Amino acid sequence: MSGLGGLNKAPDGVVIGLVQIQNPVVVTRDDLARQADRICSLVAKARRNMATMDLVVFPEYALHGLSMDTNPEIMCRLDGPEVERFRGACIANDIWGCFSLMELNPHGNPFNSGLIIDNKGEIQLYYRKLHPWVPVEPWEPGDLGIPVCNGPNGSKIALIICHDGMFPEMAREAAYKGANIMLRTAGYTAPIRQSWHFTNQSNAFCNLMYTASVCLAGSDGTFNSMGEGMIVNYDGTPLATGNGIPDEIITAEVRPRLCDEARLNWGVENNIYQFGHRGYVAVKGGARDCPYTYMHDLVAARYTVPWEKQVKVVDGTSCGFEAPKRSYKPVPSTVPQKTLAAE
């Protein structure tokens, strides 16, 4: 049940609104300012649309569009005017919001970042996309892990971005850190539609976790993004599914308490627990080892697939980007801490 899209809200419910915002064209600082204002106007629309709504979610590229433009003039900072507008919109409309921005990085390519801002205007979660959609996207690989924050009505929320959701390890990490709702924002276009649907469902079921996912919608004159807002129950059943209509807001109520109860009470298919307790019927507490070669190799920085030397696409040259010359090296965070809510 989705509470008729959240119209009938339970005392322990969290009503989520997914905004299939029109795919924008942003080239200049003025364009960026107009689009930030437009996003804020849709925050207000979401509040008018449903008085019970707790969290409004905007897709990846809602602010910058799909151009992949890395021009520093239109990159954002956490303490910049665009984020300040978003914070003000959450306060003015007494609602939590999830927002996307391409973030200036003085040490390399920009980050593809996401924020969750509470109804008091405080940044509760700050995430940088771990898996840019190669070879299409030029963004720096994220360096903040997968954070989880406390949200409305007993929710614990994680945010991943677009291509991140194609890696089951991402959803597993979010759930392992306690998330009972995982947001997935995206700019995907139609060829990814089927994969989008079944990964949103499998990420939910395999981790007993609600997933709420949304793409841009409409055309920017070059790319058509697909909309397809989707809220999925922790058993993998879709609660609400969207369409391709720009600016449509897809809503549903989720109940984190029920997700938490399933994690405690389920025996069959309690996969998030059973993954680390193999065969507990046969051996006390189950096997607690790590039998996965790829995990050991990843930790040891020697992850190599058997067909490694035959892989054809290993940089962004096919999409017009120069082959990089520097190796990955995390740098000290330059996050202005005063913008972040106290933990």
Report how far residue 75's alpha carbon sits from residue 32's, in angstroms, rounded to the nearest whole number: 9
**Phi, psi angles (nearest 5°) of residue 125:** -145, 140
How many helices and strands in the chain, by DSSP H and E? Answer: 8, 14
Pairing relationship of beta strands 148-150 and 96-103 according to DSSP bridges: unpaired
Token code pair at residue 85: 């507008």
Which DSSP category does 154 fall into? G
Q: Considering the candidates 162, 173, 215, 228, report the single residue annotated as catalytic.
A: 162
325 is catalytic: no
User: Tokens in use for 211?
Assistant: 């997933």
Contacts of 196 (CB under 8 A, 6+ apart): 186, 188, 213, 215, 226, 228, 230
Q: Which of 40, 98, 129, 156 is catalytic?
A: 129
Q: b/e string for 77-94 if b means 16 or more Cβ within 10 A?
A: ebebebbebbbebbeebe
Would you call 325 exposed, middle or buried from its count of C-beta atoms within 10 A (0-12, 13-18, 19+)? Answer: exposed
Dmax over Cα atoms in the chain, in whole Å?
65
Alpha-carbon gap, residue 212 to 235, rounded angstroms? 13
Instruction: Kindly name the residue from 60, 82, 137, 173 that is annotated as catalytic.
Output: 60
Catalytic (active site) residue 129: yes
Q: Pairing between strand 14-20 and 55-57?
A: parallel
Pairing between strand 181-186 and 156-161?
Answer: parallel
Q: Is 162 a catalytic residue?
A: yes
- What are the tokens at 58? 């905007």
The 8-class DSSP code of residue 317 comes to: G
Which residue type, as a one-letter code, is found at position 154? G
Residues acting as catalytic residues: 60, 129, 162
